Amino acid sequence: MSENEKQKNHKLVIVVGSVREGRFGPVVASWVAEQARVHGGFDVEVVDLGDVEIPLSLPAESPKYAGDSYPRPAGMAPLTSSLEEADAFVLVTPEYNHSYPAALKAAIDWHFTQWTAKPVAFVSYGGAAGGRHAVLHLENVLTELHAVTIRDGLAFPNYFTAWEDGQPLDPQAPGYAKTLLDQLAWWAAALSTAREASPYPA
Ligand SMILES: Cc1cc2nc3c(=O)[nH]c(=O)nc-3n(C[C@H](O)[C@H](O)[C@H](O)COP(=O)(O)O)c2cc1C
């Protein structure tokens, strides 16, 4: 790793994956962003899918091959640039019917190269399973996009009793977040160096 690479803060995009009225997602995402700022290894941006125009109907062509000419709606442009500029992602997801929200799937499907050869970590929440079914599905999907998924995630079971005043009650949660962010930072540096050295053969 070069000296420049060591000094550079990579861009972390934290995605709020739920857009439901009365959702809890932004609370979790704010806490993750706070942990990432304390960690210090990233420039942090929170992207809320609730603020983005994400139609379910996709264009005829594939975003994998269309490149910049892919006809995305104007209201999606800020999301696309954030994903494009990101060196690493944290997807914050609840569990809906043993999977993740449709808005998050649509946001993923409108893009392709923006995910490729970049690391993705997961923070989930829900009932007894803490969103783990959602994360298992996301891991499969992100692999198809040539993203690298991070093993150590955070899951918050029964979040409605496990959080107070915007913070998880588990005193170990910040430590788990640090482990996740350390792994994400390692991959962000490694993959950003690799992308600069040569195009990923997707
Ligand atoms: C359509 C729907 C399906 C759900 N299915 C599950 C589920 O399968 N497992 C689970 O643990 N929680 C489930 N829940 C509960 C959610 O985890 C909980 O409502 C959570 O707050 C959703 O995140 P949000 O508030 O950010 O939308 C479901 C909620 C909704 C709205």
67 domain residue, yes or no: yes
Q: How many domains does the chain have?
A: 1
Spatial contact of 68 and 46, defined as CB atoms under 8 Å apart? no
82 domain residue, yes or no: yes
202 domain residue, yes or no: no
State the number of CA atoms in the 13 A half-sphere of 195 facing the CB: 22
Domain that holds residue 97: 7-56+63-195
Which residue puts its alpha carbon closest to atom 23 of ligand 1?
94
Which residue puts its alpha carbon closest to atom 24 of ligand 1?
23
CB 98 less than 6 A from any atom of ligand 1: yes
Identify the CATH number of the domain in which residue 20 sits. Answer: 3.40.50.360
Determine if the pTM surpasses 0.85: yes
Which residue puts its alpha carbon closest to atom 22 of ligand 1?
94
149 domain residue, yes or no: yes
List the chain pLDDT tens, one digit each, 202 residues. Answer: 445 445 579 999 999 999 999 999 999 999 999 999 999 999 999 999 999 999 999 999 999 999 889 999 999 999 999 999 999 999 999 999 999 999 999 999 999 999 999 999 999 999 999 999 999 999 999 999 999 999 999 999 999 999 999 999 999 999 999 999 999 999 999 999 999 999 999 8
2 domain residue, yes or no: no
